[in-house]
Amino acid sequence: MAYSAAKENAAGFRRIPLDDAPAARALEEQARKLAIHFPEAGSFVGEAIDIWIARAVAHRTGELKNLMPGDWAAFDRTAPGRRALTEIGVVTYAMEARDVLARAEEDWVNDSVEALIERADADEGPPAGVWRDIEKNVLALDSLDADEGRFKSARRRLFDLAHASASADAARHIKAGRYNRAFGVARKHAVEWNATANVLGARDVKKLDSLREKCAALVTPDGVDPSPADETDIAPPPRTKPEK
């Protein structure tokens, strides 16, 4: 009798669609009740549960890989399906499923960030703040990992680009004698990326501090930069005479 029920439950798992986690969870509850009274029969069903979870996890990771990079809304639409798989099966298997799905989410975010970087470069230089906007979208995702240090690799990539951009902007202002403008760029950059730098580590915090301190040391006492009309014009290089 117990083995008949176990076989029926196992067969039931094979019929459940891979995207129907609620049905799998309901059948798992039946299997647990059976295992209380008939442990051997329950273990037979447990194997069927594990097989279904493994197939469902593969289905969800494949679904994620097929999303268009940078489609944040699609990521969030599919997030409940991934989360549901972390609530089925014994704790060990649920944790394994979560680890696999979390890694798949991180891989997708890394690929998305690289695609958006390539797209921005193709537009002949991204506008100011684009890297910060991308990071905000990444942090707003309905991901399995809700820790403040999530998606660290992608965020470091964005931080490095933002820092290179801010450093270049500050250098241009310094070269033109606009020391206060340079300090403004460094200070704004430090405010926007301070939280991220603290997550990434001391190296990145030091990069923010160094840029800000360098620019602060050049600030003029009156706090006034030369107007564009007052800036020294740089003569173009002399033309070479065409050969006769």
Interatomic CA distance for residues 76 and 73, integer angstroms: 5
pLDDT digits (tens, 9 = 90+) for 201-235: 999 999 999 999 999 999 877 767 666 544 444 44
Tokens coding 243: 């050969």
> Could you give the count of Cα atoms lying within 13 Å of 9 in the half-sphere of its Cβ?
28
Interatomic CA distance for residues 218 and 242, integer angstroms: 45
Rounded to 5, what percent of the chain is helix, strand, coil? 75, 0, 25
Interatomic CA distance for residues 161 and 125, integer angstroms: 12
Interatomic CA distance for residues 91 and 27, integer angstroms: 17
pLDDT digits (tens, 9 = 90+) for 129-188: 899 999 999 999 999 999 999 999 999 999 999 999 999 999 999 999 999 999 999 999
Q: Where are the domains of the chain?
A: 1-105
Tokens coding 8: 């029926």
Tokens coding 191: 């405010």
Q: Average pLDDT, whole number, for the chain?
A: 83
Query: Residue 1 pLDDT > 60, yes or no?
Result: no
CA–CA distances in Å: residue 61 to residues 53, 100, 109, 118, 225: 12, 8, 13, 24, 54
- Please, which pLDDT band fits residue 15 given cuts at 50, 70 and 90? confident
- Please, which pLDDT band fits residue 113 given cuts at 50, 70 and 90? very high
Query: Residue 2 pLDDT > 50, yes or no?
Result: yes
